[in-house]
């Protein structure tokens, strides 16, 4: 639950209302002028239509220099950001030859494996020479190498499940797996803030989809009880299957899933648990094994474990881990396994090597040091931001920390001012978040030094004062929370 001060909510509504009114005014005259000119598309329906198209043209394009910034180096603690310019008020952007060295607070490089690593990189280079960049084939044809088999065994052992299957893209892992696991006559109960890949996978499955309030086990139980009592629509027959889908760390909130309570409820009502650990696997837990290890949940109580390799492991792709019967079934039926090109061999080697470092199988303690550092860095940075008066979402130990911006004018202002001081941040707005809940999402890495974090805090504090996003008094002056606030999910 996010509490918005009344004045902030009012100014945000006013800003969006103003943009909407002027946008509609300009669109009205655009239609008049366009009607005077002939077009080769007369008789065709507009290919881009709707509020999303209006939002892109009238708001996003004005501030698109804050998004999709190209880089020209590895996404380590510092990286090179390519400068761009526009001659048409940001409608188009052109790259220049100039680069700026910036502190990286946007990449999902949680354990620092995205940059060159003394153990991983030589093995990846050797794999590239031996296997080439791509298998150029699906897994069931010529796309399975000895590395793919080794990787699946390695992942299964790491997450604590009997078997695993890997895919070349994390997004597809969710969107392609869910339609295979469940279909018509089944029920999916999904957290209201689950990732878009889960939403699209659930929609494509043909199953009935119900949503429960974000990270609220009591509401989940209420929805489960009601749906079991009512049964399938129209026929009221019992559901063929019920799957509850949650995330380990919610990528836009930085919150840890209340997994113990959710697992207990699912056991009570005989529903399967599907856990997306894209942002938690490798990043949290004493040995990096995710929220199950952190929160003391037996992995045997989680039926389907999903995760990606793009965050903590410095690679690409995703996995599903579960029982041997489940994984064998997916290998026979999942389109992402049957038809998509298999994960790149060098990428597979990067994952295997990084897991070995995390577990200390490289003969060093660097993995344990990385895990301790990401936890210390995250908790220190979150605590300091809160002391400064920023509204920071999420829980301790989470490397994802959103700073609330709210007002649309503050999205580009915060991003541009930070970039001027060589700090690269990611700002997030609609449609990735609700319209009123724009934010800057900070991602902390184990590769950040104490000096890096202090510089980032200094810059963010200065920009926060300039832009006006310190919605709470600093800790030394803080007496109580502002009494007037709106609550928004």
- Provide the phi-psi class of 201: left if phi over 0, else alpha when psi is between -120 and 50, else beta: alpha
Q: What are the φ and ψ backbone dihedral angles of 428, each rounded to 5 degrees?
A: -130, 130
CA distance 415 to 142: 45
Here the tokens at position 341 are 């090109």
CB-CB contact of 278 with 269 (8 Å):
no
CA 68, 71, 76 angle in degrees (round to 5)? 115
Residue 482 pLDDT? 47
CB-CB contact of 418 with 424 (8 Å):
yes
CB-CB contact of 334 with 205 (8 Å):
no
CB-CB contact of 400 with 108 (8 Å):
no
Residue 41 pLDDT? 66
Residue 465 pLDDT? 96
CA distance 36 to 217: 58
Q: What's the whole-model pTM score?
A: 0.92
CA distance 113 to 400: 17
Residue 209 pLDDT? 97
CA distance 403 to 99: 27
Residue located via tokens 């809160």: 386
Here the tokens at position 128 are 């590239």
DSSP strand pairing (423-424 vs 94-104): parallel
Task: Give residues with Cβ within 8 angstroms of 34, minimum separation 6.
Answer: none
Residue 53 pLDDT? 84
Residue 489 pLDDT? 52
3-state helix, strand, coil in the chain (%, to 5): 40, 20, 40
CA distance 242 to 227: 10
Task: Give residues with Cβ within 8 angstroms of 382, minimum separation 6.
Answer: 392, 394, 396, 398, 401
Splitting the chain (489 residues) into consecutive groups of 10 residues, what average pLDDT does each group show?
79 90 88 72 74 85 93 96 93 94 96 95 96 94 96 97 96 96 97 96 96 97 97 94 97 96 97 97 96 97 97 96 97 96 97 97 96 97 96 95 94 96 94 88 97 97 95 68 51
CB-CB contact of 103 with 79 (8 Å):
no
Task: Give residues with Cβ within 8 angstroms of 466, minimum separation 6.
Answer: 413, 417
Beta sheet of 272-276, edge-to-edge order? 163-167, 318-322, 304-308, 272-276, 241-247, 186-191, 208-212
Here the tokens at position 316 are 């690409």
CB-CB contact of 110 with 399 (8 Å):
yes
How do residues 203-224 score in pLDDT, each as one tens digit? 999 999 999 999 999 999 999 9
Residue 1 pLDDT? 63
CB-CB contact of 314 with 111 (8 Å):
yes
How do residues 378-413 score in pLDDT, each as one tens digit? 999 999 999 999 999 999 999 999 999 999 999 999
């Amino acid at each position: 639950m996010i509490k918005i001060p009344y004045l902030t909510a009012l100014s945000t509504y006013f800003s969006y209302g103003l943009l909407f009114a002027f946008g509609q005014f300009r669109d009205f005259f655009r239609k008049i002028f366009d009607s005077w000119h002939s077009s080769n598309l007369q008789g065709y329906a507009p290919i881009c239509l709707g509020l999303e198209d209006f939002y892109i043209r009238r708001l996003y394009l004005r501030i698109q220099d804050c998004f999709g910034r190209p880089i020209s180096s590895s996404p380590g603690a510092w990286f090179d950001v390519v400068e761009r310019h526009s001659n048409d008020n940001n409608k188009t952007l052109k790259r220049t030859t100039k680069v700026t060295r910036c502190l990286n607070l946007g990449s999902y490089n949680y354990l620092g494996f995205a940059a060159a690593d003394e153990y991983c990189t030589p093995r990846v280079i050797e794999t590239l020479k031996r296997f080439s960049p791509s298998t150029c084939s699906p897994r069931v044809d010529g796309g399975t190498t000895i590395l793919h088999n080794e990787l699946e065994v390695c992942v299964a052992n790491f997450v604590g499940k009997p078997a695993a299957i890997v895919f070349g893209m994390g997004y597809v892992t969710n969107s392609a797996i869910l339609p295979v696991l469940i279909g018509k006559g089944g029920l999916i109960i999904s957290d209201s803030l689950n990732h878009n890949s889960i939403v699209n996978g659930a929609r494509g499955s043909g199953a009935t989809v119900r949503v429960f309030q974000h990270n609220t086990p009591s509401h989940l139980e209420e929805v489960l009880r009601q749906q079991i009592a009512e049964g399938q629509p129209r026929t009221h027959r019992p559901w063929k299957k019920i799957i509850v889908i949650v995330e380990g760390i919610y990528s836009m909130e930085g919150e840890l899933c209340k997994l113990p309570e959710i697992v207990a409820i699912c056991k009570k009502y005989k529903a399967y648990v599907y856990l997306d650990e894209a942002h938690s696997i490798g990043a949290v837990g004493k040995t990096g094994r995710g929220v199950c290890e952190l929160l003391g949940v037996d992995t045997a109580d989680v039926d389907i474990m999903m995760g990606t390799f793009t965050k903590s492991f410095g690679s690409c792709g995703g996995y599903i881990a579960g029982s041997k019967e489940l994984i064998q079934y997916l290998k026979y039926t999942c389109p992402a396994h049957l038809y998509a090109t298999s994960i790149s061999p060098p990428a597979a080697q990067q994952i295997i090597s990084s897991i070995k470092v995390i577990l200390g199988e490289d003969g060093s303690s660097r993995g344990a040091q990385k895990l301790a550092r990401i936890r210390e860095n995250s908790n220190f940075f979150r605590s300091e931001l809160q002391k400064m008066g920023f509204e920071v979402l999420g829980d301790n130990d989470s490397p994802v920390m959103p700073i609330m911006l709210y007002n649309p004018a503050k999205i580009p202002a915060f991003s541009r001012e930070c970039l001027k001081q060589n700090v690269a941040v990611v700002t997030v707005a609609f449609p990735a978040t609700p319209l009123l809940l724009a934010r800057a999402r900070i991602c902390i890495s184990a590769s950040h030094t104490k000096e890096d974090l202090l510089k980032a805090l200094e810059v963010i504090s200065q920009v926060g004062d300039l832009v006006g996003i310190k919605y709470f008094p600093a800790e030394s002056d803080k007496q109580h929370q502002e009494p007037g606030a709106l609550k928004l999910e």
